[in-house]
Amino acid sequence: MRAAVLTGRGGPEMLVVRDDVPVPRPGPGEVLIAVAACGVNNTDVNTRLGWYSRSVTSGTDTAAAGGEVGRAEDATWGGTGLTFPRIQGADVAGRVVAVGAGVDDTLLGRRVLVDPWLRDPTDPSSRENVGYLGSEADGGFAEFCRVPAANVHPVEVDLDDIELATFACSGSTAEHMLTRVGLTAGRSIAVPGASGGVGTSLVQLARARGARVVAVCGESKADAVAALGADEVVVRGPDVAARAVEANGGPFDVVADVVGGDDVASWLDALKRGGRYVTSGAIAGPLVTVDLRVLYLNDLEMYGATVFPPPVFAALVERVQAGDIRPVVAGVYPLEEIHAAQEAFIAKRHVGSFVIAVDPALASRT
């Protein structure tokens, strides 16, 4: 089969598109998916660079531009090494074409989204014994992908496969962040990085919950982000957190941040007493300085959001089917142009998500 194979840690040259990769066979409790499309995400770049290693101190974009590569022994999200070759891609959209022993064969032919967290079947609620699609197991930058049957979610919605491929990673990350902080109607939320895949999902999912949303993005992206339902859009720049508070008419109940970097301390200042800060990324940098007095004197709560329980993905699929969140496709690339897709992603001039059209019939989509 055709696949983009990651051969080691490093630059885009470590991704090699091949047409002689064996098609995996589903084992007991597994299914085989014919992949139509697969989204591009930060985790693809982070894993390729070994950015999750604590030896890397710069943000994702800076590390990618400078060729900074993390040490091997803690290069993955879970703090372990990565085995090669590996097929990346967490945002799988496709159809079930084969099932293993013990799997309901009514799944055959169904169009599905795939929950990317690979859990312990004996304790699926555990955050310890888990892997991620495209990191600990081969993912969707290939014509076929093998996953546990428990991870596939049939979808019946009037969206094409390119559009569906924008949801699994970014959408579930956003749904998890909002679930962790318990965002409800009438609350206010700031989204510092509102234009990427996770950010556009946060804006829509927060709005669907009835929250007041203040989104932050670059000036050229403001109209597109506003069209997603943000109540206010603040242009990124100096004193951005203070300007967001002013736009909101006061401090926030929640800040949902995937940017990190130098502005983290000011976003904590932007929270009400008892407010909640949740993070699931550090595009601008992972090492920050925080005044602990702001944290404890204001009774703030801080949350990390990475491994989520199965109901989070099920809730996302319900949101997709209900139309609470719509796809935002920034661009489409054929599998053979995955280098260009990642370069465009790293440039951060887009709104939404880039998608790899694994099925050549979809590659003409613009």
Q: Indicate whether 147 and 220 sit together in one domain.
A: no
Number of domains in the chain: 2
Instruction: Kindly indicate the confidence band of residue 169, based on its pLDDT and cuts at 50, 70 and 90.
Output: very high
pLDDT tens digits along 3-54: 999 999 999 999 999 999 999 999 999 999 999 999 999 999 999 988 898 8
For residue 67, pLDDT over 80 is answered with no
- pLDDT score for 319: 98
Q: Is 162 helix (H, G, I), strand (E, B) or coil?
A: helix
For residue 103, being part of any structural domain is answered with yes
Question: What are residue 218's phi and psi, to 5 degrees?
Answer: -70, 155
Q: Indicate whether 130 and 219 sit together in one domain.
A: no
Q: Indicate whether 192 and 333 sit together in one domain.
A: no
Instruction: Kindly indicate the confidence band of residue 365, based on its pLDDT and cuts at 50, 70 and 90.
Output: low
Q: Indicate whether 14 and 162 sit together in one domain.
A: yes
- pLDDT score for 364: 56
Instruction: Look at the block and give the residue holding tokens 């990642």.
Output: 342
Closest CA to 354 of 144, 42, 8: 42
Contact by Cβ (8 Å): 161, 94: yes
Share of the chain above pLDDT 90, in %: 86
CATH of the domain at 201: 3.40.50.720
Q: Indicate whether 338 and 231 sit together in one domain.
A: no
Q: Indicate whether 139 and 262 sit together in one domain.
A: no
Neighbours of 335 (CB within 10 A): 24
Q: How far is CA 295 from the centre of its chain?
A: 27
Beta bridge partners of 92: 38
Distance CA 332, CA 343 (A): 13
Distance CA 233, CA 57 (A): 30
pLDDT tens digits along 316-363: 999 999 999 999 999 999 999 999 999 999 999 999 999 999 988 876
CATH of the domain at 61: 3.90.180.10
For residue 316, being part of any structural domain is answered with no
Q: Containing domain of residue 237, as a range?
A: 173-304
- pLDDT score for 305: 97
- pLDDT score for 80: 76
Type of residue numbered 208: A
For residue 309, being part of any structural domain is answered with no
Between strands 117-118 and 131-132, the pairing is: antiparallel
For residue 192, being part of any structural domain is answered with yes
Q: Indicate whether 55 and 155 sit together in one domain.
A: yes
For residue 321, being part of any structural domain is answered with no
Q: Indicate whether 345 and 299 sit together in one domain.
A: no
Describe the strand order of the beta sheet including 86-87 as a list of residue ranges.
15-18, 3-6, 86-87
Q: Indicate whether 187 and 160 sit together in one domain.
A: no
Contact by Cβ (8 Å): 95, 73: no
For residue 311, pLDDT over 60 is answered with yes
Q: How far is CA 37 from the centre of its chain?
A: 15
What's this model's pTM, rounded to 2 decimal places? 0.96
Q: Indicate whether 99 and 235 sit together in one domain.
A: no
Beta bridge partners of 355: 39, 332
Q: Indicate whether 10 and 124 sit together in one domain.
A: yes
Distance CA 352, CA 202 (A): 11
- pLDDT score for 72: 82
Q: Indicate whether 63 and 113 sit together in one domain.
A: yes
